[in-house]
Chain A
Amino acid sequence: MIVSCLRALLSHWRRNPVQLFAYLAGLALATALWSGVQAINAEARASYDAAATTLGEGQYDLLIPWQGDRIPLDDYISLRRSGWLVSPVIVGRLDDIQLVGIDLVTSATGLGTGNVTSVPLALASETLLANEDTAQKLGPLVNVTVDASIAPGMAVGDIGLVQRLLGRDDLSHLVLLPDQSLGQPDLSVIVPSLRIQRAQQVTSISQLTNSFHLNLTAFGLLSFAVGLFIVHSTIGLAFEQRRGMIRTLRSLGVPLRILLTLIAIEMLTLAAIGAGFGIVLGYLIAAFLLPDVAATLRGLYGAEISGTLELRASWWVSGLLLALVGTAAALSSRIWQIAKMPLLASVRPRAWVIATASRFRLQSIIAVSLLSATILLGLFVKGLVAGFALLGCLLIGAALALPALAASILTLLQRYTTAPVWTWFWADTRQQLPGLSLALMALLLAVSANIGVSTMVSSFRLTFVSFLDQRLAPELFVQVETKDQSIALAAFLDLRKIEVLPLSKTQVSITNKPVALYGVRVGPTYRNNWVFLDETDGAWDLVAHDTAVVVNEQLARRAGIWVDDLVQVAPDLALPIAAVVGDYGNPQGQVIVSENLFQNLHPDLYPSQFGIRTTEAPALRAQLVNTADIDNNAIIDQASIKALSLEVFERTFVVTAALNILTLGVASFAILMSLLTLADLRVPQLAPVWALGLTRQRLGWLELLRAVLLAAIVVVCAIPLGLTLAWVLLTIINVEAFGWQLPMYLFPLEYVQLGGFALVAAFLAAMWPAIRLMRTPPSSLLRVFASER
């Protein structure tokens, strides 16, 4: 019985292959973008972890210099000879590969860790360890042993070898080993130029890149939601059409429980197959996007991620589970209906087409309550979770409100029409709304999410570009390595009578968080270029007089302080905040004081970076190299920094644009599938109109027009929704997640373009059903009258 029952159930798909395709493809699409995005995120996280492990970041306390990033070998020896158990590390770049040199003998995972007999021959073999990609790049330079566990873009080897490759004889930092010995003297007595950086104070690269991954995840989730709309509607249709079969089966004596179990197994198995396709598709999407994502992350955060994708259980299992849970949710209400259906219920295919006004009313009520919740959340609740709840309420509320809104627009249009064909057209469109509503909701979500996300990304770009202009006002930047160089350069520039912006920098701890303290020379460049988020009158004057500080937005928001509040700059010095400055993309807090004050607080430190205002950058650069003995590599001109930063954004845009197209594609697929599944049901409705004299061609064109018109209504609704979404992302989510707020800019042309895409997508989606309609044999239209059900 079970087998024949199952065969009966499956015959439905054989007779409706398009429905089967819609079901499988809906699930595949839902799973694809989600798992693709998760695959990228998983790959990136694995790379960050590998990098942290390779560098020992976050595992051990480190000794780092108060200033600069170099430690003389003698300091290391002094520390060891006084009982400080530290192990040296050198980090440097060889082309675009980060070389990490460790002392294999003293390192925390070196000889002291035990099983020495399994320890292979590395010291004598003079080899670097790197993953396959990096090994190929290092090529003939040096012996390389391939080790997949090494972070991408990094190579690890013995400190002696790495020093030789980098042409250096110093160290970058010292790892403070976990077990120290008795009788250790104070660090400040042995090497006062070093300080301890606690493991937990390190800002990890994964923290830095969170915002980027959040973006990707949002896209993935969105497309998943759209895919589930497709699944939901397909399941609905399939169940309506199978009412007759179910009634027959039950009349033949199939117990309800067996029938329900079989249906659940059937649908979930198909779901698993669809999700399987989706995972394969997701892998392809991820592999396609990964190079651009990798380039973005490298440029934006200096984070290296692997260029090759691994099949990690974390993403494909989550994709599969989500797809199954989503299907089960859509399935449960239908199964509930069957369970409650009287044995001999009417088989009249009510279909979803006959959704009543009462369903619209219910949807509208839910929509209104969700949108009210959105407003309440926005006004009264703080926090990241509330921010996401707000987003959820907004999007679902708006989607649910769409059919009712569209219906009233259509009613309005119908009222102003007198021609009979158009009156029929509007009425017929309205009558189709329930069947198309899920697809339209999907389109609404896709378009508004695209508007929201591109507004956010574009706003970020505009803000960042003007921020770069603000911060990169000096035409030349010079980096010095030693105090003598710093003094000599300052004297050299003083003679030139041009504006110089020396920058001193160190790490301090404010409210137990590491904060960068900067000493600046207040001058015209700061006064004219820096744009504050908030300030007191004469902010720069106060800073110049050592009576106030400027802090960045991150510190202000994190510590809950704002203009006029006090900041503990040093143990015995608290100064009021004169201004808060936007500092985009930087996770760390900053306090800016005058150079005098900085010098008083940290007399041993010297300015290590100089910004120079000049109209003759190339000439001055030549002078610096020839006369002031500055290495040409230590001078960077503004244009090249800007170009580099902007290139990063272009990469980000490639990724965003690709995701935009993919989500729109998913949405138009939803429209196509809805129209196709509706097409057969609509023959009885169209036959009378045809009989009244409208040609099949005319009817086909009207179908196309209808799709485009509905899409236009959706686009009109999507623009305010997308902008609201962008506003929530910029002013609520961003601040909660990353500590800074982005100003919002509008890009009307982009929205018009996106709207155009949506209309084209709807047109394309409607084309096939329309063509099918145009080619419907008159005989099938006539049959409607012959065989009235």
Chain B
Amino acid sequence: MNVKVIVFLFLWPFGVLAQGFSGLGTGGDGFTMPKPQPAFSFPADHGPHPEYRIEWWYITANLNSPDGTTYGLQWTLFRTALAPGEALGWQSPQIWFGHASVTTPDQHFATERFARGGIGQAGVEASPFRAWIDEWALQGADFDLMNLTANGPDFGYDMLLQATGPLVLHGDKGYSVKSAEGQASYYYSQPFFKIGGTLKLPIGDIEVTGDAWLDREWSSQPLSDDQTGWDWFSLSFDSGAKLMGFQLRQTDGSLYSSSTWIGSDGATTSYADGAFGATPLSTSLIEGKDVPTSWRVTLPDQGVDVFVKAMNPDAWMGLSIPYWEGPVNVSGSHTGQGYLEMTGYE
């Protein structure tokens, strides 16, 4: 029997195909919709929001080993709900999945996990903070000091994260609009993590340190029907300032963008559609697909005009939902490093 054909067609957060997005765009089904002017309450809002359709805890990190080699790391826990709310046991409508990857200058390791909610195999608790799927975990006494672990068939890592700055709210106090029609999500970040620990790679264990960025987002309908994918940048400049910017590609070729300028003290300036610009400069052929791996990124209001280039173009996440995610180097008006995520190039 082919179980594939009986497994539910999930409504993926990064539904990379048009039909995936159309599901997300319709909303309804009893899920709660994000509303403008939210007032987050921490630590409770670090925890899950099962009445919303989708949610994630997303960490990316730029790492350096003592010999100067650069690495990238990703850890994500996704929650997706078949129906709003939570129930105990197998009846829970919540499905969890985890993605983890490590990028080296010439290799990319990626793996994923799946779990049902309600039975204890995966979940998130706000305080003390604990997000886990199988043996993978992001946990700590509070949100400022946490351990991060994941393992795959041929790699793994064990990290310590320490916050050195405040949480950052995107959009309007955390209400982040995703389309001209008003689709939106709740979105905040902790871009000021210092990270250190051990990468377990086939060549052996490697001690690394660096900077990590955590994104939290939840929604019930973040994308509109005519959006086919997105390009998301989180850039940390050597000046200490940071830039989060994304653009959603629409079927008519137009773009919808949004961005947040984060000062080194954590003060934010949000920009609506059109302020942030990202133009592909060259593509790489990865798994038979042309994926842009170098970009010109601009935010004229802050004098940003930079060249963003993938550290390793081959950072393809060949998982059940394929996408590109990897560390980037920044040069031009500003220098630094960061992470790039691109979906919809499938």
Task: List A residues at the B interface (Cβ < 8 Å).
Answer: 50, 53-54, 73, 76-77, 80-83, 85, 102-107, 109-124, 129, 145, 147, 149-150, 156, 158-160, 163, 169, 179-183
Contacts and interface: CB of A to CB of B under 8 A. Distances in A.
A82 B3 CA distance: 26
Interface in B1-40: 1-10, 12, 17, 19-20
B102 to A, nearest CB: 12
A122 B9 CA distance: 8
A158 B27 CA distance: 26
B116 to A, nearest CB: 5
- What 10 A-B pairs have minimum CB-CB distances, sorted nearest first? A160-B90, A109-B3, A83-B135, A122-B6, A181-B151, A123-B8, A119-B7, A104-B7, A105-B114, A182-B156
Interface residues on B, range: 35 or more
B49 interface: no
A109 B114 CA distance: 12
6 contacts: A80-B134, A109-B4, A110-B3, A111-B114, A112-B112, A123-B8
B121 interface: yes
B200 interface: yes
Given A54-B1, A129-B6, A116 B321 contact: yes
A124 B320 contact: no
Contacts of A54: 1
Interface string B279-319: 00000000000000000000000000000000000000000
A112 B19 contact: no
A87 B203 CA distance: 30
B83 interface: yes
B1 A159 contact: no
A533 to B, nearest CB: 43
Contacts of A50: 1
Nearest to B82: A124
Contact of A81 (B17, B135, B320): B135
B19 A117 contact: yes
Contact of A113 (B4, B93, B111): B4
B135 A82 contact: yes
B153 interface: yes
A156 B1 contact: yes
Nearest to A145: B6
A158 B3 CA distance: 10
B166 interface: no
Given A112-B320, A129-B1, A182-B153, A81 B10 contact: no
Given A109-B3, A114-B4, A117-B20, 16 more contacts: A77-B121, A80-B135, A81-B134, A83-B135, A103-B116, A105-B115, A106-B114, A116-B9, A117-B9, A118-B9, A121-B8, A121-B9, A122-B7, A123-B8, A124-B82, A182-B152
Interface in B126-141: 132, 134-135
Given A80-B115, A117-B20, A120-B9, A147 B1 contact: yes
Given A111-B97, A117-B17, A181-B111, A149 B1 contact: yes
Contacts of A110: 3-4, 7, 114
Nearest to B120: A77
Nearest to A103: B116
B84 to A, nearest CB: 13
Given A104-B7, A124-B82, A163 B90 contact: yes
Given A109-B4, A110-B7, A111-B97, A182 B200 contact: yes
Given A82-B135, A182-B151, A112 B114 contact: yes
B5 A53 contact: no
A169 to B, nearest CB: 8
Contacts of A147: 1
A338 B14 CA distance: 79
Contact of A119 (B4, B90, B134, B156): B4
Nearest to B122: A80
B240 interface: no
B323 to A, nearest CB: 13
B7 A111 contact: yes
B164 interface: no
Contact of B121 (A81, A120, A145, A169): A81
Interface of A is mostly: loop
A116 B320 contact: yes
Q: For A104, A124, A163, which residue has the most chain B Cβ atoms within 10 angstroms? A: A104
B44 interface: no
A160 B3 contact: no
A156 B7 CA distance: 12
B9 A115 contact: no
Contacts of B134: 80-81, 83, 85
Contacts of A123: 7-8, 82
A115 B111 CA distance: 16
B324 interface: no
A182 B204 CA distance: 12
Contact of B8 (A73, A104, A180): A104
Contact of A124 (B83, B90, B132, B155): B83
A158 B134 CA distance: 20
A107 B154 contact: no
A149 B3 CA distance: 11
Nearest to A157: B6
Interface string B71-100: 000000000001100000111010101000
Q: For A81, A124, A158, which residue has the most chain B Cβ atoms within 10 angstroms? A: A81
Contacts of B4: 109-110, 113-115, 118-119
Contacts of B200: 182-183
Nearest to B6: A122
A85 B151 CA distance: 11
A149 B7 contact: no
A129 to B, nearest CB: 6
B155 A182 contact: yes
Contact of A111 (B5, B111, B320): B320
Interface string B148-168: 000111111000000000000
Contacts of B83: 124
B30 to A, nearest CB: 13
Contacts of A81: 120-121, 132, 134-135
Contact of B9 (A119, A156, A179): A119
B206 interface: no
B267 interface: no
A150 B5 CA distance: 13
Nearest to A147: B1
A499 to B, nearest CB: 44
Nearest to B151: A181
A150 B1 contact: yes
B153 A119 contact: no
Contact of A181 (B8, B116, B120, B156): B156
A111 B153 contact: no
Nearest to A179: B153
A120 B1 contact: no
A164 to B, nearest CB: 8
Contacts of A112: 112, 114, 320
A409 to B, nearest CB: 62
A119 B10 contact: yes
Nearest to A183: B151
A102 B112 CA distance: 20
Nearest to A90: B90
Contacts of A107: 3
Contacts of B2: 109, 149
Contacts of B6: 104, 119-120, 122, 129, 145, 156
A149 B4 CA distance: 13
Contacts of B111: 181
A120 B4 CA distance: 8
Contacts of B93: 124
B121 to A, nearest CB: 5
B153 A181 contact: yes
A104 B4 CA distance: 8
Given A77-B120, A111-B320, A102 B17 contact: no
B153 to A, nearest CB: 5
Contacts of B121: 76-77, 80-81
